[in-house]
Structures are given as C-alpha cells and as structure tokens.
Structure 1
C-alpha cells in the first residue's frame, strides 16, 4: 500500500519533507513585487469563475460549458471524491485521461477537494505509474476507460492488486470494482464553495505534481506550488494579451505541464474560452477552427505545422481568425515558418518552456529575425537567465553557446524527494541547470535567446521527451543483449526518433526492431518510447574518458540515413 502522510486540515502546514522551499528572502521579494498573491490556486480559479460566470469556459466537439456550469460540475466532483473514496486533502491522485471534458472537471475538482493532481498520461504503463505513485505517495487514480485500445481499467486492477493504488475513478466506462465518474458526481453535492477544503490549502505548498524526466530509479517530479503556478498562468495570459472573449484552441494533451500552464489555467484565470480537441488530427482541428474561430493556438509542434501545411483542406479553410500561432517543442525550421506565412497567411512566433517552470516566448511585435530564429525572452521581469559553461558556474560571453540556467518566481527550487540529484541540477544560488545549450542575442535592441542543442541525453520525438537511460535500462534486461545505447536520429516530421544500437551476446538470437519492441512492451515501456530503428554493432565507441560516445553513434546513424536517402531502394530501418 502507498504510504499515507499525516496532514492537518483545516489550517496548519502540510508535512512536505520532499519539498525544497523558496528561501524566505526570495519569497518576500516576489511577494513585495505583487507576483505572489497569498491565495491558493483553486481560490484564484474560483474567484475568476465568479467574475466570468456566464461566459463560455470550455468547448469540446461534444458540448460547451459556461464558467458557472464547469465549476459547478467541479464542485460536485470534489464533494463526491471525498464522499465516495478514502482520499483526503493533501493526498495525490494520478491522472490517465485524454482531452475530454471529464479531464478538466476532474482536475479542477481535485484542486477544490485539496487533492493534488499528478499529471501522468494515459500512455504510461503499469510500471511507470507504479514507480511514480510510490515516489510521490499517490493513493488515487482517475482514468478514461475508452482511451486508445482500452487497457487502462485492467492496468488499474493490477495497480490496486499490487497495493500501489487504493482508489480508482473511471470516466467514460463502467466497471463494478471502481467508482464511476457519473456515480461520483451523483454522490457529490453542489454545496457552498466555502464548505470545500480548498479554502484551507496553504498557498506556499504543492498544488500539482508535474513530470520531468525518466521514470527509472529516480523519477524527476516538479512540485508546482499554489502561488507560483497561479502566477505562471497569469503572466502567460498577460504576456499574450488574453482576456474575456479570447478563444484559445489547444491541440495537445491537456494534462502535460504545457496544457495546464499555457492553456487551461491561464484561459480560466483570464475569462477566456478554451477549445479542446480530442486529438491533434488535422481534420478535427480544421473543423473546430471553422466553428469556434479561435484567435490563439498557444502551442503547435513543428510536426503539426507540417501536417497542416500538407493537408489540402488547410488552403480552403478560413484561417483568418488565428492571430497568434505559437510553435514550440523543438527547433523551428525557417522554411516551415515561411511556408506558413506564404501558403496559409499565418504569422508564427516561438516559445520554449519546461515542467520546472521557466517559459520564453518571442514578442508578437518582433521581426522575423527574432520570431523565426529565437525563442524570445522570458515572461516575467523577475525571471533570471544565465548562460554558463557546461559543468561550471562561470558565464560565457554574449553570443557564445553555454548551458541555459534559470531562476524566477515560477521556476521550482528543487525536484521532489531528490536531494542528491538537486545538488547537481541546481547551482548553489538556486539557478536550475536545464541541460539545454543556448545563446544570448541582442537583435534590434531586444535581448533574446536561441536553443542550440542539449547536454541532457533526451530524444525529442515531436512533443514527447524520451529519456535514453530509461529505455536502455529495459533493453539491457534482454538476455541476448550485452550492451546497448539509445540515440537520437534526425526525422523530418517528428524532429527526432530513437535508434537502439545493440551489442549482442555471443551466439545471441538475432534481434529486429519488432522483436525488441515486443520485448520492451512486456517490460512496461510506453509505446511511444519504443526504438524506431535497430543497429547491431560489434561494440560501442568510447570517448576519451571511457564513456560511450553517443556523439559518434549519432554521427554514424546520420551518415547511414543520408546514404539511404541516396539509395531509395534500401530499407530505411533495420527491422
């Protein structure tokens, strides 16, 4: 069974031994500047809901909800959650939900119940959910039964049987052994808001857990605090000029940090309307653009931009309502930006951000040199950026590449329950070492930044980040493999895909991409993390310090891909 931490409500401080707090002098500075409000995230959301009660809050292809309707449903969920389960304020709840209205209601309902959402994804398998739940101490799970091929209820039974999860709420499907979403709503009441526990949430404590990094021995969990997370949303909405009547279409998973911090919460805090498609299918997006006329699409991966350009219907659809089209997730190719401008009449700008907090975005008024080649400037005047020599604490000169290190009023001070890792991930004075390589530029009087690579061993597959060490750990469980390395290989659509370089045991069985993938699925790896090419090699190249030279492996695979492009009859992957 997951360990339940003793908590006192109402009043009193929550016991958070895994939390690295903001130093008192830093907190005081942010508060004196009016950045932190002294109110919890759900208090701020409920305040906005009362102001914008009759405006439209949420639109899906199935229905639409006013602020009054959406938050009334969330209040019933909160009441029902506390009535129908053993969950109590301060507990953490895992989420495995897609882009449906029930996800938004459940997320808001958890906040109102004083229960902390853990923004996991429906693609995560039993192993990943188990590791994360045990690290955080999560006791509950909210899942969407009809997501994908429908394995989530069965996965939940395994989690409950193993004692990892105690309470499960199932939306969009019925199971006799778990609490149904509709049943939970029916057991709840539309009680006065002051009767719910959210009034007693300490605004200095954790509101939401966001995922960052792999789920191997030490998950990297970003604890987002009430005040800083609310400020994150408010400063994003203010920077983009959102207000009552702004219509925002968000095509990516809403339970990512980007979905919460760049779409859901800033939309609700500013009185805007959020349009939530069930997927990033281009046809669905074009339908919703025609019917809802969004002004803003706040996060578009280059992958989706290319699909939009390649769909013949895009050129026939009226896209004139779109005033703000923001690309992020990976480096933008200039030809994609120019094609969007020339073929669809869409002006683009770029953003860069992280679950740990810091966001940068190119100003709307900036010229194409800034918007097409940089990720702009940070959101808050209190944000601080240093470009340090990798592994050192000395800054590089302007224009030189170094590691992007950040600190500010919505950037975490440390990962949850990760004291040893935090000593490496943060400087002595609290700057987060992102692992990304960046440059500082001054263009037309604007100080802005470009992202020019990374130090971290991460594969950016579209908007998903695949951590090589997690996949390698599972590959090495195969009895036929003596050594392995997962490296990024370039891909024109997704940006990068994973290539597994394998050294086989003498006499080991031959392995293909398919057979390796089937094995990794049995080990609980999520499908999107599977290697998409296999290279069997005699040995892995080593660097001058005796470590595997992934740089050499990447160069080798890039050369092979280039050769294969010149020889179209040669297969593109070893399967």
Structure 2
C-alpha cells in the first residue's frame, strides 16, 4: 500500500496486525508541550487507537496483565535465577512499593540506570515502571560527566546502580553525583551499600505486604513518557528519545507477534539489556508474549555457547556482525549443536555477505537481518524470504502503518526506487521529537513528522512488498576534496580479500583535501599485513575507483567495540588523529 509522497506500508499476515488504514495526512509536527515532549498529533493518535494498535493502557499495565496471564511459565533465566512470571512480577511489585516507601522518589520522577545484565536489573526496571517512575536507560559504562549531563537535562532525581559491576567504579561515581547535587537518591541494587544510599534488600523488605492495587501505574496516562532512551552521543545537548506508554508497549508486542513468540519460545539476549535494543527486542516482547528470556551476563562467546547448550533458545534477536564473526572464529562453535536457533537476527551494522555465507555453510545458521533505532522504527527480513533478501536487505517495516520515504539528503525530495538516499520514517512507534530539543528537532524531522535517520538506504521492488537496504551513514562518508567516499562500499570490497578478517574504514584529517581514507585491518591468523600498495592493487582489481582507495593502512589485533557491540569508529578516528599528530612533531 502506498502512502502520500511514496511512503509505504506493509500488509500484515492474517491474524497478526489489523488491516492497514490510510496514512496520517501531511501537516506540521506538533510543538513540544510544557514538559518538553513532542506529542503525536491528536488525529494521528486517534487513528492508531481506532486501528487497534494503541490500546489506551500504560506500559506497566500491559506488562502486568501479561504476567497474570502467564503465571507459572518461566519468565527469566540467568546464570543465577530461574523465575516464573508470578515470581518476577511479585518481586517487582515489592520493589516498587519499597521504592515509594523508603525514598523521596515519586511518580513522574526520572531515575538513571547503571546496571548490567543481572536479574535485579529486570526487577528494578519493572519496579520503577510500576511505581510510576521513569527509567533513564543509561549504561554502566557511562562516566560521571555523561550521567550528570543527562540527569540535568532531564531533571532526574535518582540513580540505581550495580555496585559490583566491572571494576567497582560505580559507587564512587554515585557519591560524586550526590555530593554535587546532581541526584538526590541513590539505590544500590547489588553489592555493598554506601553512605545514605538505599539497598535493594531494604526496599524489598519495605514493600512486603503492600497491596499491589495501590501502585501508581494503574493511573499513568497512556500518552505520557514511560521510558527515556538514549540516541547517539552524550556530549553537548543529549539526544533523548522519550518512549511513550502506548507506543512502546505496541513496539514490544508487535516485535514478539511478528516473530511468532509465545509459550515455549526461549529468547537469548547477550547485549546490554537496558539499551533500547535490549528492552524493545528482548525484555518487553518476551514478557508481553509469554516467552522465556535468557539473559546472558555478557557477549563472551564461551558464555553464549554455554547458555545455548543449557537452555536451547530458538531466538537470538540481535547479533552484531562483530559478534557473528567471533562466533565463527571460535572453534567450539563448530562442535556445538546450534540447530535450536531458528531465528538468528543480525543487526546494528551492515552484515558482510561473506559472513552470512560462512554462517550458513560452517554453522548451518540462516540469518535474518534487522534495522532499528532508539527513536522507534524497526525493519526485519520476513520469515521465509529468499536468500538475496536476507543477505542484502533489512526487509520491511513491522507495522502496517509504518511509513518510509527515501529522501535526497538535506531535502524533502524523494529519490527513485533503487537510488541511494536518506531513510526517513514515521509511524505508530516512532517518536515525533527528541525530548527538550526543539532546535535539533527542526532539522531532525521533516515538516510533516518523518524522522531523518541519517542512514543511507535504497528501496528495492522484488515482486511483492518493497524492501530496503541500509548502505551506510550520511556521516560515515569521507569527504576527500570534492569527492565522497562511502565507507560501506569500500569495506565490502576489502572483505573479499582472503587474508582480511575484519575491516573498518575511517576518515583521517588532511590539510589539503580535508579528509583521506584510512583502513584498519584485522588479518586472518598467520597472514602477512597488507600495505597501501597491496590493498590498493586488490581493490583496483575489484573495480573500485582510484580516488576511493585507502591512503593509509593500520593493522590491529582487533577492532574496538562500543557498549552495544558495534565497531567504534569514533575510537579509530581518535587513534589515527593521535598518530598523525605525533608524526608531525
């Protein structure tokens, strides 16, 4: 079904989603309200409710209704616990009641999270929602400055932390934030309690015996903010995606429904659970659908294989390409029975074709690809799609009312099918604006509310519904004088070299041309490093234009990864800038 100006909506399989409705009419995006939230236009929200996508309930109300329905089924498995839905929900209710009884935090407050993949993180997240308190999904790797910037921007009053995470640095950070008046309350969920902080056990004891029917979540407005998710960096003005109750609940339920999750489904998740991907691809859809969530403490391959052998999951809902490569490189993977994995979904960055083929040929894994963002929109290669679609595209959007335009960057003009442009999206679980960021919203959204993702994409027509490929980031373009070099294009060709295991192409500063291309290479074991000359000769043989050739090659043992398993090009750019500066001294 076509929407105005070329947007598309996908017809849902029978019994899963309601039939598509007419797309919302073009019109200006609403202004932010007094809280800094940009709401969905009233007529658009009404249309989503009339179509049955939004149900008029708060996110915690939907989660608790599912918990009551699934009762004795297994909800959460970690190396330490195995809890039923009844056990998990009762513990979260006790935590919520204790939070309101023993701290100064009140419904509507925002609370920063710095916790890893432990069962208490799930309890704390659900407990905050039940108490009407809004989680801010920071990560335990964030430093004091980053947490302070975000807390001040949001007016957050509290911090929950895992004191035994990593090197044990989080209590010291929390003390500093308390001393500076950035936060008023600190809750230690694991590890030793310090100073005036409140402990997890104390909150559970304080909440024992309280009537869950008095918890504030029953009265939370469905159009209000449930959770704050982070997008991009935290320097300068933070980019914070305010996820509202109805749309976030729909997002989670839709993902689980699209993948057919239900009783008997086991979902294994190894990446940070408090990242938007963890919440909306694993935690919430699993709990809303009655599936069991296996929460891995880390993405260590040995740990992952142990959990696969022990729990036999059908689904790995987000595997970064770097993690897929590490799985291929681990000898034990080739001896482990991976036949249980029927949905091995790769996302985060473009999957090299060679990796997809090796997963198929060496481990018997048929990959699916996805694309998603903290701002909302998800795309997924359909179940049963042909190999070309699964290996070369991220498929189609999930919802029948999702809309996509491919625009010429910096304009509102659509490009023809097959041409590269900026992916711009709008729909029933895509935000209408960043929180308290009116100036940034003016450039981040079209006049009628399509979010400009900054991703370069193409629309493909392959007989049925259109599908989309992601072909890099607008900012991942190296500006070599008047020429533009798309990093993904060069990286794909470099990966054809039999001696190269991994590659990342980044910009390095140049006083004449502005930028030149530097290739960071991880070589296959025992293979000699490539030089600028040998790599260039290979790429010319693959048909790459000469101006796109890397002008410096750095051989490394491994590429640095971000907190969510993506290659950290920011670190690589900093590395090459440091090396160039040292060489000019």
Calculate the TM-score normalised by the size of structure 1: 0.81
Structure 2 residue 201 is the aligned partner of structure 1 residue 182:
yes
In structure 2, what is the Cα distance between the partners aligned to 1:387 and 1:205? 30
Structure 2 residue 138 is the aligned partner of structure 1 residue 123:
no
Aligned twin of 1:479: none
Question: Is residue 351–residue 362 contact of structure 1 (8 Å, CA) maintained in 2?
Answer: yes
Structure 2 residue 186 is the aligned partner of structure 1 residue 168:
yes
Question: Is residue 286–residue 293 contact of structure 2 (8 Å, CA) maintained in 1?
Answer: yes
Structure 1 residue runs without a partner (length 5+): 1-13, 460-486, 502-538, 543-548
Judging changes above 3 Å, is the alpha-carbon distance between structure 1 residues 61 and 498 closer, same or farther for their aligned structure 2 residues? farther
Judging changes above 3 Å, is the alpha-carbon distance between structure 1 residues 358 and 276 closer, same or farther for their aligned structure 2 residues? same
Question: Is residue 303–residue 495 contact of structure 1 (8 Å, CA) maintained in 2?
Answer: no
Find the partner of 2:259 among 237, 240, 251. Answer: 240
User: Which moved further from structure 2: 563-572 or 420-429?
Assistant: 563-572
Task: State the shift of 1:442 in Å.
Answer: 1.3
In structure 1, what is the Cα distance between the partners aligned to 2:187 and 2:324? 35
Task: State the shift of 1:446 in Å.
Answer: 3.3
Structure 2 residue runs without a partner (length 5+): 1-31, 479-486, 523-528, 536-551, 557-575
Instruction: State the Cα deviation string for residues 389-426 of structure 1 (Å, max 9, x = none).
Output: 11111100010011100000000000000011111000
Task: State the shift of 1:493 in Å.
Answer: 6.8
Task: State the shift of 1:495 in Å.
Answer: 6.0
Judging changes above 3 Å, is the alpha-carbon distance between structure 1 residues 400 and 169 closer, same or farther for their aligned structure 2 residues? same
In structure 2, what is the Cα distance between the partners aligned to 1:208 and 1:389? 32
Aligned twin of 1:529: none
Structure 2 residue 357 is the aligned partner of structure 1 residue 338:
yes
Find the partner of 1:80 among 95, 98, 122. Answer: 98
In structure 2, what is the Cα distance between the partners aligned to 1:335 and 1:499? 24
Find the partner of 1:151 among 144, 159, 169. Answer: 169
RMSD over equivalenced CA pairs, Å: 2.5
Aligned twin of 1:101: 119
Task: State the shift of 1:251 in Å.
Answer: 1.1
Question: Is residue 502–residue 521 contact of structure 2 (8 Å, CA) maintained in 1?
Answer: no
Judging changes above 3 Å, is the alpha-carbon distance between structure 1 residues 325 and 159 closer, same or farther for their aligned structure 2 residues? same
Structure 2 residue 241 is the aligned partner of structure 1 residue 273:
no
Judging changes above 3 Å, is the alpha-carbon distance between structure 1 residues 401 and 190 closer, same or farther for their aligned structure 2 residues? farther
Aligned to 1:443, what secondary structure does the other structure show?
Answer: coil
Aligned twin of 1:220: 239
Instruction: State the Cα deviation string for residues 78-115 of structure 1 (Å, max 9, x = none).
Output: 01111111100000000000000010000000000000
Aligned to 1:168, what secondary structure does the other structure show?
Answer: strand
Aligned to 1:446, what secondary structure does the other structure show?
Answer: coil
Structure 2 residue 407 is the aligned partner of structure 1 residue 388:
yes
Judging changes above 3 Å, is the alpha-carbon distance between structure 1 residues 166 and 448 closer, same or farther for their aligned structure 2 residues? same
Question: Is residue 303–residue 493 contact of structure 1 (8 Å, CA) maintained in 2?
Answer: no
Judging changes above 3 Å, is the alpha-carbon distance between structure 1 residues 392 and 499 closer, same or farther for their aligned structure 2 residues? closer
Task: State the shift of 1:175 in Å.
Answer: 2.4
Aligned twin of 1:518: none
In structure 1, what is the Cα distance between the partners aligned to 2:114 and 2:477? 23
Judging changes above 3 Å, is the alpha-carbon distance between structure 1 residues 493 and 161 closer, same or farther for their aligned structure 2 residues? farther
Aligned twin of 1:328: 347
Aligned twin of 1:400: 419
Aligned twin of 2:470: 451
Instruction: State the Cα deviation string for residues 452-476 of structure 1 (Å, max 9, x = none).
Output: 11113699xxxxxxxxxxxxxxxxx
In structure 2, what is the Cα distance between the partners aligned to 1:393 and 1:569? 38
